[in-house]
Amino acid sequence: MQKNTLRKLGAALLSSAVALSGIVASAPAQAAPKGKTIGIAYSLGGRDVPGFNQLAYIGVKPLLDKDKTLKLIESQDSPTATDDQRAERLRLMAKRGANPIVVVGFTYAAALTKVAKEYPKVQWGLVDEVVTAPNVQSIVFKEEEGSYLVGLAAAMKTKTGKIGFIGGVNTPLIKKFEAGFIAGAKAISPGIKIQSQYTSNFPDFSGFNDPAKGYEIAKGMFENGADVVYAAAGGTGTGLHKAASELKKWSIGVDADEATYPAHAAYKSTILTSMLKRVDLGTRAFVADAVAGKKTAGTKVWDFKAGGVGYTRTGGYLANDIAATINNYAKKIATGKVVVPTDPSKA
């Protein structure tokens, strides 16, 4: 992807994030020691695929722009990689002098647990999973809170009283998205019917990048009466948007504002909203602290109150009264009056 496209996308992502609680979450691009190297180990898809991988890069890019002596090295996961292969990938980045290193995705958890001990002077930042070590910051999000907000939207927009959820891979992480979506929808309409289906089961990670399967599942849900479907499934979600566009239904994106993706230009009018997961803020804050010489170990939780999750109104498909209702619930989440479940069975 060209640099100007990334720059425009980054600007769109930053401007579209909704910090409804009035708290602006940001991390300044602080100066780093000359010649320092930053590493990013991407999950499946890499940085050129819009979503949380690309958001990790967008978060770090202001630091690179500010200090041209900073270097960046990158690596990418593969669908067939083993934990040992992921560990070796992280070792190679550390051997090349990268410090700090951002590790994107829970698939790296086992590998990082091992490698962090081998390289105790390297500051590691792991997105989406908790690894307890004196040199690891676990960068996690309350995806259930953002999913609750788009669940509210789905329940207020459906005309059939039926909606759907597509999960990429059946894991505890993606279950959080499902639980929040169900809880939000039921807050508006307790009797609403919700279809849920996962594209693949752990340890098969193909469900995060299977647009054809996403299309098939979404089409089935729409033909079964759903008129709004939310996908927390990475690239698989493109199939949802295609099906929604063909059948004149609503789709809901995830992680970033999917209506702004160049690849989704043909589907812009069908994307009702997107659940924002501000991986860019999390990675920027971690790297900024690390290059400034600050201690970074521990678990950093990016919830709604911190600006870590939210929703979009691109296209204007959520009327002011719907947005007002969502914002009212969001304030309750921020103050703790509404606690969003992480288990779909308790939603």
Cβ atoms of 166 and 229 closer than 8 Å: yes
Cβ atoms of 177 and 147 closer than 8 Å: yes
The kind and range of the H/E element at 135 are: none
Beta bridge partners of 170: 201
The whole-number pLDDT of residue 46 equals: 82
For residues 161 and 156, give the distance between their C-alpha atoms in angstroms, rounded to a whole number.
9
Q: DSSP letter for 258, please.
A: G
- Coil vs helix vs strand at 286: helix
The whole-number pLDDT of residue 191 equals: 97
Tens place of pLDDT for every residue, the chain, 347 residues?
344 433 443 444 433 333 332 222 333 333 434 569 999 999 987 888 788 899 999 999 999 999 998 999 999 988 889 999 999 999 999 999 999 999 999 999 999 999 999 999 999 999 999 999 999 999 999 999 999 999 999 999 999 999 999 999 999 999 999 999 999 999 999 999 999 999 999 989 899 989 999 999 999 999 999 999 999 999 999 999 999 999 999 999 999 999 999 999 999 999 999 999 999 999 999 999 999 999 999 999 999 999 999 999 999 999 999 999 999 999 999 999 999 999 999 99
Per this entry, what is the length of the chain?
347
Burial status of residue 113 (CB atoms within 10 A of its CB: 0-12, 13-18, 19 or more): middle
The ranges assigned to domains in the chain are 3-142+278-302, 143-276
pTM for this prediction: 0.89
DSSP string, 199-229: EEETT-GGGGS-HHHHHHHHHHHHHTT--EE
For residues 345 and 175, give the distance between their C-alpha atoms in angstroms, rounded to a whole number.
10
The whole-number pLDDT of residue 49 equals: 77
Burial status of residue 345 (CB atoms within 10 A of its CB: 0-12, 13-18, 19 or more): exposed
Please provide the CATH number assigned to the domain covering 3-142+278-302. Answer: 3.40.50.2300
For residues 36 and 137, give the distance between their C-alpha atoms in angstroms, rounded to a whole number.
19
Cβ atoms of 214 and 258 closer than 8 Å: no
Give domain 143-276's CATH number out of 3.30.830.10, 3.20.20.150, 3.40.50.300, 3.40.50.2300.
Answer: 3.40.50.2300
Peptide bond into 203 cis (omega under 30): yes
Which of 281, 258, 279 has its CA nearest to residue 268? Answer: 258
Strands (E) across 9-152 are located at 37-42, 71-76, 98-104, 124-127, 136-141
